[in-house]
Amino acid sequence: MNLLLLSNSTNFGESYMNHALPVLGSFLKNCSNIVFVPYAGVTVSWDDYEKKVQQVLSALSLEVRSVHHLQDPAKAIENADAILVGGGNTFRLLQLLQQNKLITAIRERVESGVRYVGWSAGSNVAGKTICTTNDMPIVQPESFNALGLVPFQINPHFTEARLPNHGGETRTDRLKEYLELNREGRVVCLPEGTWLIQEQDVKTTGGGDVWLMEFGKEMEKTGEVINRIWN
């Protein structure tokens, strides 16, 4: 499979997707039929979301078409040579992927070699489930089972920051709760500006340190165990 899973779309103080332009350009360089799935967008119109993504891809001499314009989104997925799934709310994204019968369509196309790019929620749904998203469950999908393009969980926007005078749980605390009840699970934590990339059998990380969490173990940098996490 060919996957580019980005933690986020915008680094602090930078323009939209600026940090990812080089890797996007390389990953999509031979793609001519790129489709975009905007379903995670809740407070932005899907037309505006498409325009925002198109503006980025135009700088790479690429064009994109959003599935929300089409009567048969699954057919668009079947004909694509690259699938982009944007960020927003993961629960809403998964709900609409399920309702529009795109779970199987996307999985089958990606398994056949079609390139998949996700960021934030779009990376969340590439994992086995969305149980390690940071998002609020503003809607209820049919299940939490996601695309399963990788054999682990993903936590985009990972941070260990704690607000001053705030006694609540850290992100690590929350992910340890998941692992306590899913002890065979693995969580790949993507800090801002980082990504995972798989091209055929080659798996790498980029943008900075990416972390692996497993039950009862210290966190590891995935660059040191990158092939093991895919097994």
Catalytic positions: 120, 135, 157
Strands (E), the chain: 2-6, 34-37, 64-66, 82-85, 115-119, 153-158, 186-191, 195-199, 202-206, 211-214, 220-221
Cβ atoms 87, 120 nearer than 8 A: yes
The rounded distance, in Å, linking the Cα atoms of 88 and 91 is 9
Quick count: other Cβ atoms within 10 Å of Cβ 32?
10
To which residue do tokens 């350009």 refer? 25
Helices (H), 100-163: 103-111, 121-124
Cβ atoms 226, 41 nearer than 8 A: no
Q: Exposed, middle or buried by CB within 10 Å (0-12, 13-18, 19+), for 156?
A: buried
The rounded distance, in Å, linking the Cα atoms of 33 and 21 is 18
